[in-house]
């Protein structure tokens, strides 16, 4: 069963539609930081997982540390696997050249089910 624990969060403004519990990437600039739904497993700007759904112009609470729920893009069968985003911002097992967002700490039984991810950048890019 997916769970959350001790989240560190930041609040950003969405520049597009973002679904709850999907990966987000940072954008904008120092004066006006923004975020957008992550669309690639190789995006180096992925920073966390949206805690609420939003459309352009709305605030998004982004978990950047701790354990968060994340929508699975495919089954994640075990714990301790590096997790990256798929093209829809959903979590999946990372492969070579992906930028991991964290490590699975509770499995997702199938696509569109929740898994739990310990956020961090384990080894940055898999090789």
Rounded distance between C-alpha atoms, residue 91 and residue 11, angstroms? 21
> Stretch 52-72: mean pLDDT, rounded?
96
> Stretch 33-45: mean pLDDT, rounded?
90
Rounded distance between C-alpha atoms, residue 79 and residue 28, angstroms? 34
Work out the pLDDT band at 127, boundaries 50, 70, 90: very low
pLDDT score for 122: 61
Q: Is 25 exposed, middle or buried (0-12, 13-18, 19+ CB in 10 A)?
A: buried
For the record, the structure tokens of 29 come out as: 């600039």
Whose structure tokens read 């700007």? Answer: 45
For the record, the structure tokens of 123 come out as: 């080894």
pLDDT above 50 (res 5): yes
CB 20 within 8 A of CB 51: yes
pTM of the predicted model over 0.75: yes
Up-side HSE of residue 26: CA atoms within 13 Å toward CB? 14
Query: What does DSSP assign to residue 29?
Result: -
Which residue, among 95, 102, 101, has the nearest Cα to 118 in the 3D structure?
Answer: 102
């Amino acid at each position: 069963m997916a769970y959350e624990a001790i989240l560190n969060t930041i609040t950003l403004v969405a520049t597009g539609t973002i679904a709850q519990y999907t990966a987000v990437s940072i954008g904008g600039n120092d004066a006006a930081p923004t975020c957008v739904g992550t669309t690639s497993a190789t995006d180096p700007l992925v920073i966390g997982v949206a805690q609420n759904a939003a459309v352009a112009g709305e605030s998004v609470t982004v978990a950047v540390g701790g354990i968060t729920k994340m929508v699975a893009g495919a089954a994640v069968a075990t714990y301790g696997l590096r997790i990256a985003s798929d093209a829809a911002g959903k979590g999946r097992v990372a492969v070579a050249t992906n930028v991991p967002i964290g490590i699975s700490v509770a499995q997702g039984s199938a696509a569109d089910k929740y898994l739990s991810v310990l956020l961090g950048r384990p080894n940055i890019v898999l090789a």
